[in-house]
Structure 1
Amino acid sequence: MTIGGGRPGGPVISHIPDEELGSGSPILGRIAQMLRPYRTKMAYVAVAVVTSAALASVAPFFTKAVFDHALFPTDGSGVDLSLLAWLVGGLCAIPVVTALIGIGQNWLTSTIGNSAMADLRSDLFAHLQKMELAFFTATKTGAIQSRLANDVAGVRTVLTDTATSILQNSVTVTAAFISMIILSWQLTLLTLVVMPLFVWIQLQVGKRRQRLARRTQESLSEMTAITEEALSVSGILLSKVFNRADSEVERYREANRNQTRLQVEQAMTGRTFFATVQTFFAITPALIYLVSGYMLNSGTALTAGTLVAFTTLQARLQMPLLQLMRVSLDVQTSLALFRRLFEYLDLEPAITERADAVALNPKDLRGEIEFRDVHFRYPEPRRLSGDPAGDRFGESGVRIDRTEPAPEQGWALDGVSLRVAPGQLAAIVGPSGSGKTTMTYLIPRFYDVSTGAVLIDGTDVRDLTMGSVAEAVGMVTQEPYLFHGTIRDNIAYAKPDATADEIEQAARDANIHDRILSFADGYETITGERGYRLSGGEKQRLAIARVLLMDPRILILDEATSALDTETERLVQDALERATHNRTTIAIAHRLSTIHNADVIFGLEEGKLVEQGTHDELLALGGLYSRLYVEQFGSGQIEARFTDGVRFTSGETYCDKPGTDDRRADVSF
């Protein structure tokens, strides 16, 4: 069932029926490929496994010799104490040697499995870093975290123990059956008579376990998403503001109850089957004794040692067979988890670098930006099986198909053509939803245009290396992101090898250095998750310091002062003036007072460029900009002059730097 659409060639999202889980052979092949770097260690494990299994198979023959040759010799010669001592010594040595081999084998398997799991986590994380912005806007962070943590942890047993367990138990079972046939083929047939039925039942149980495993992980993914959403600083603040704590608790409880039900159902699936198998193995020795009596009564040669050795082998066969059956179910269960992981690894990033891409030369970079007949629509979100959707309660059971999409949505940008000269300050204005932010996303290639081209210094950004574009374009957003760490680390994120002097100079230029020093820990102050320990203006100035440290030739300001108070806005504006010096700057602003001095102003409406010019030209034109201006300022004037160092704005006064007479200031009426 199709539930999505998108641009031509984009993804269609559809439900995965349980019947389409498919064969595990390709998945097993990929798992084997993951283990290739460790094949030498795996060879050592195989040698250890075969040796242990061989020793285990030899022990019953020692037992047979104890009975038939040392304790009760068939020639009636009496107990042979010398032979008995040697045989008992052998029986004691076998478990000691097997235990020592087992220690080394466990170290090898643990090293192989955990290393492969670490590789899988790293590969998955690295691949997700390559995904386009649209993928993350459509996928809950908790769902991604669940795949990295829960799904990878869910396959841990397969990577650490399963391969060894399969090999070890297979060798043990094979050796035991051969030994049992050597001792008595008639009794061996009795042991094997119901095995085909057990195998068939086990396959059916495995299919059900696989489906349950997928549903369980999807439920766990939803729980992780709820946890990440509700227990983040933003989520806690939201629930407290709207008094929704009880509903959040109930939402988690409902998901938790569903998870518990699935866990219980998964745990109980196959229990009846294994109980039946164990019961059969438990009563088999009694049946062997009965059949042995009939065999002896009919004249078949069967010594006491043979009978003891056979029942010992049969008892030793029980555990490996049960483990093989359980491991088989674990493998089938894990296949569902591997599919979820490989789904992410198989996603192709929508934004990729061409093989012949050229790098921008920072020394020659002028900073010219051009939009050439740009049309753009946002692609449909790409979501995978079991990932909660962007809605409140999520949507499970979806996957990506590379087929024809559903009818497309409207254009976010419709035929936009404009040019920003090197070093210019260009402003973009327009009502909400007109495409302002979309334009800024196309310059650093967060998205690719649908048609047309975005050019930097005359070269299509799609023909440039992504790294050089990222270094050339800096961005300060309305809500800057600060990670949980020190102020120094947050600023230095733009340039990890920056010196302390460089970091402090960037902070001075951003008007935040003195404020940082006022904190008890200075530059070592912890910002808190998303910078919640700092005010909006402090976060904004830290973001400016970070971009100044980066020193890009092109700067994008996305409503960087719209949420600030007047005094803080003055500090940020002063920092932005330094940041825009000798740079090509594109500024988005709802407050027209912040951009009236721009070299050029572009007016966007419904994705179309409707006008461009200077502040005075657009006011005289009487179009979109003039209408927005009147809505904000009425008939008042936006320009004023400093008089004796006093600046007026929004009815408030405050002293500015002395000697700044005859400068224009921002005044709102």
Structure 2
Amino acid sequence: MRGRSELRRIGALFSPYRKPLGSVLALIALSAGLSMIPPFLLREILDQAIPERDTGLLTWLVVGMIAIAIATGALGVAQTYLSNIVGQEVMHDLRAAVYRHLQRLSLAFFTRTRTGEVQARIASDIGGIQSVVTSTATSIVSNATTVLATIGAMFALDWRLAAFSLAVLPFFVWMTRRVGGERRKITAARQGRVADMSSLVEESLSVSGILLGRTMGRGEELVQRFTAESRELAELEVRSRMAGRWRMASVQMSFAIMPALVYWFAGQTSAISVGTLVAFTTLQTRLLFPIGSLLSVSVDLQSSMALFHRIFEYLDLPVDLEESREPVELRDVRGEVRFEGVTFGYDADARPTLDGVDLDVPAGSFTAIVGETGSGKTTLAYLAARLYDVGAGRVTIDGVDVREASFASLARTVGLVSQDTYLFHATVRENLRFARPEATDEELEDAARAAQIHDLIASLPEGYETTVGERGYRFSGGEKQRIAIARVVLRNPPILVLDEATSALDTETERAVQDALDALAAGRTTIAIAHRLSTVRDADQIVVLDGGRIVERGTHEELLERGGRYTALQAAQREDAAQQGEEATA
């Protein structure tokens, strides 16, 4: 059942291109019809024109054979051109559909899936079916049409020879189906190895992977792991190529033997002329290539079905972040954010990360969220940007449930500066313009000044045309963070989410980044996830999370007076700082 369903889905990929496919089919039928004429002309040459010395008839017959050969060649070129256009359009549609679908998934999918696995599905798996969608589909029709036309011509020449020649065809079909099943299993295993190897390359040959491998002295082990993966892939490739080769060789050998058997069979009767016999064996020879192609195509299709199955697996992943059917455009946003009975968990079977959280963030205020690692701080802030959907309750912006807001207006409304800054391997200017492609150079520079990074960029030999390197490794952590801040400044969102944006920086760099963040937060609703409590002393309210619940809230002074969880966190940080100071002195 699954195979039929997948075949229907594959067929649906071609449905938008019915007209060009119709043209291809017409060309195939015309070409197949023309190619059946030369054997009959050959029979006339051998049985009439040459024995009777009729040079006029011989000339016309030869000219006809030449003209048909030229016309068939031209039709073949046109057919190949059209079929490749259709095939590449289908490839484009499939790649775009997978990429678009992945863009609609929540962060949960990407946190549990290796990047190399995703890359393998888009590049390797879709690339592996290219021959199927660009040429195999039309090749099947073309070869099938040729086979049917040839068989018809063979019966027209002599039904006895045709019946004798085709008696073994069902055996070939049965044999090919067995080969295809073997190839499909091997292909599924091979693509799994390709994904594993892609993940290893992506992880170990990134800047971070190289640094980790060398500093941990594990470079040789990584080489051995890659070598082992490559060896397994090579063995699977050999198995895939050799699957059923002896059976296919038997088919080809049988076709090579058949003409001799036809001569023997024809010799048993005097009713078959030499011209008919030569024309028949010519048709029989022409039958070898299309039937061989159909048999091998059947095997290749079985292999490709494994690739299609892997692609459809991604397309069938449930979209857990759907835009509302009638989305609300967030306009003139004041910036009031409310969490109303919010419960959320990454795993339905585990204890929820957030449990019944109620929180009001007034417009234009600065709210800090603090707590120990795993208390749900980042999750709470990410729900405001709708990077996940709540399990229960709701999150609203100016009274509008974020699930009802359009994705575009929500992205304009909520800006995120995370601890793990990501920069594309592009120029500084291109990284900044990712936030707002239509921004002018002057606006870019103003944003960089606000983030206190313009002077540094301007001092570089290539200025804003400087390539940042993979993940921005040409810049320090603080510089990357300020570029990211400039990117958010350029977008100018009314609500700002700061995800421990300075926790990994040294004191001096933290001060520079914090100044940039303070300038960015001015006049905006700010939700800051704080690791260093010293950065949130001036917050309008500080929310303390513990085990996914709010256990305290208030200003810095109010929470210290209570002597509760916030005070304990302060004491623990002072103790850690004092211990680090002693270690540094020692």
TM-score, normalisation: structure 2: 0.96
Counterpart position of 1:387: none
- Among 281, 306, 331, which residue is 2:301 paired with? 331
1:373 and 2:314 matched:
no
1:542-561 maps to which residues of 2 (within 5 A)? 542-561=483-502
**Residue 144 of structure 1, CA deviation:** 0.9
Q: How far, CA to CA, are the matches of 1:441 and 1:592 in structure 2?
A: 20
Counterpart position of 2:88: 114
Residue segments in structure 1 that go unaligned for 5+ positions in a row: 1-21, 73-77, 381-407, 638-649, 652-669
1:235 and 2:180 matched:
no
Decide which structure has greater helix share.
Answer: 2
1:134–1:379 contact (8 Å) kept in structure 2: no
1:458 and 2:391 matched:
no
Question: Secondary structure of 1:611's match?
Answer: strand
Counterpart position of 2:326: 356
How many residues align structurally?
580
1:182 and 2:150 matched:
no
**Residue 253 of structure 1, CA deviation:** 1.2
Counterpart position of 2:32: 53
Counterpart position of 2:314: 344
Change (3 A) 1:276 1:544: same
> 4+ residue runs of structure 1 moved beyond 4 angstroms?
634-637
Counterpart position of 1:26: 5
**Residue 27 of structure 1, CA deviation:** 2.2
1:420-431 maps to which residues of 2 (within 5 A)? 420-431=361-372
Determine what percentage of the aligned residue pairs are the same residue: 48
- Most deviating of 513-522 and 217-226: 217-226
1:14-93 maps to which residues of 2 (within 5 A)? 22-72=1-51, 78-93=52-67
1:164 and 2:138 matched:
yes
Question: Secondary structure of 2:528's match?
Answer: strand
- Among 221, 232, 237, which residue is 1:247 paired with? 221
1:267-666 maps to which residues of 2 (within 5 A)? 267-296=241-270, 301-361=271-331, 363=332, 365-379=333-347, 408-633=349-574
Q: How far, CA to CA, are the matches of 2:13 and 2:171 in structure 1?
A: 34
Q: How far, CA to CA, are the matches of 1:71 and 1:356 in structure 2?
A: 80
Q: How far, CA to CA, are the matches of 2:487 and 2:415 in structure 1?
A: 9
1:516–1:522 contact (8 Å) kept in structure 2: yes
Change (3 A) 1:479 1:272: same
Q: How far, CA to CA, are the matches of 2:560 and 2:576 in structure 1?
A: 12
Q: Which has the higher contact order (CA 8 A, sep 6+)?
A: 1
Q: How far, CA to CA, are the matches of 1:60 and 1:463 in structure 2?
A: 70
Change (3 A) 1:489 1:305: same
Residue segments in structure 2 that go unaligned for 5+ positions in a row: none
Q: What code does the residue aligned with 1:562 have?
A: S
Q: How far, CA to CA, are the matches of 1:412 and 1:531 in structure 2?
A: 32
Change (3 A) 1:533 1:636: closer
Q: How far, CA to CA, are the matches of 1:245 and 1:359 in structure 2?
A: 52
Q: What code does the residue aligned with 1:302 have?
A: I
Q: How far, CA to CA, are the matches of 1:269 and 1:628 in structure 2?
A: 65
Question: Secondary structure of 1:416's match?
Answer: strand
Q: CA offsets per residue over residues 565-600 of structure 1, 9 Å max, x none? A: 222111111111111101111111121111111111
**Residue 500 of structure 1, CA deviation:** 0.8
Q: What code does the residue aligned with 1:241 have?
A: T
Q: How far, CA to CA, are the matches of 1:242 and 1:602 in structure 2?
A: 39
Question: Secondary structure of 1:294's match?
Answer: coil
**Residue 628 of structure 1, CA deviation:** 1.2
Change (3 A) 1:250 1:635: closer
**Residue 182 of structure 1, CA deviation:** 1.5
**Residue 635 of structure 1, CA deviation:** 12
Q: How far, CA to CA, are the matches of 2:360 and 2:428 in structure 1?
A: 37
1:510–1:542 contact (8 Å) kept in structure 2: yes
Q: What code does the residue aligned with 1:142 have?
A: G
Q: How far, CA to CA, are the matches of 2:510 and 2:416 in structure 1?
A: 18
**Residue 543 of structure 1, CA deviation:** 0.8
Q: How far, CA to CA, are the matches of 1:45 and 1:126 in structure 2?
A: 30
Q: How far, CA to CA, are the matches of 1:423 and 1:249 in structure 2?
A: 53
Question: Secondary structure of 1:455's match?
Answer: strand
Q: How far, CA to CA, are the matches of 2:64 and 2:146 in structure 1?
A: 19
Q: What code does the residue aligned with 2:537 have?
A: H
Question: Secondary structure of 1:94's match?
Answer: helix
Q: CA offsets per residue over residues 617-640 of structure 1, 9 Å max, x none? A: 111111111011112225999xxx
1:188-227 maps to which residues of 2 (within 5 A)? 188-227=162-201
Q: How far, CA to CA, are the matches of 1:492 and 1:93 in structure 2?
A: 60
Question: Secondary structure of 2:36's match?
Answer: helix
Q: CA offsets per residue over residues 465-490 of structure 1, 9 Å max, x none? A: 22222211111111211001111111
Q: What code does the residue aligned with 1:474 have?
A: G
**Residue 526 of structure 1, CA deviation:** 0.6
Q: What code does the residue aligned with 1:102 have?
A: G
**Residue 463 of structure 1, CA deviation:** 2.3
Q: How far, CA to CA, are the matches of 2:239 and 2:449 in structure 1?
A: 61
Counterpart position of 1:654: none
Q: What code does the residue aligned with 1:254 have?
A: A
Question: Secondary structure of 1:560's match?
Answer: coil
Q: CA offsets per residue over residues 277-331 of structure 1, 9 Å max, x none? A: 11111111111111111123xxxx1111111111111111111111111111222
Counterpart position of 1:398: none
**Residue 354 of structure 1, CA deviation:** 1.9
Q: What code does the residue aligned with 2:275 have?
A: G
**Residue 493 of structure 1, CA deviation:** 1.2
Q: How far, CA to CA, are the matches of 2:22 and 2:395 in structure 1?
A: 55
Question: Secondary structure of 1:462's match?
Answer: coil
1:434–1:604 contact (8 Å) kept in structure 2: yes
Question: Secondary structure of 2:342's match?
Answer: strand
Counterpart position of 1:127: 101
Q: What code does the residue aligned with 1:219 have?
A: R
Question: Secondary structure of 1:24's match?
Answer: helix
Question: Secondary structure of 1:35's match?
Answer: helix
Q: CA offsets per residue over residues 259-288 of structure 1, 9 Å max, x none? A: 111111111112111111111111111111
Question: Secondary structure of 2:341's match?
Answer: strand
**Residue 37 of structure 1, CA deviation:** 2.6
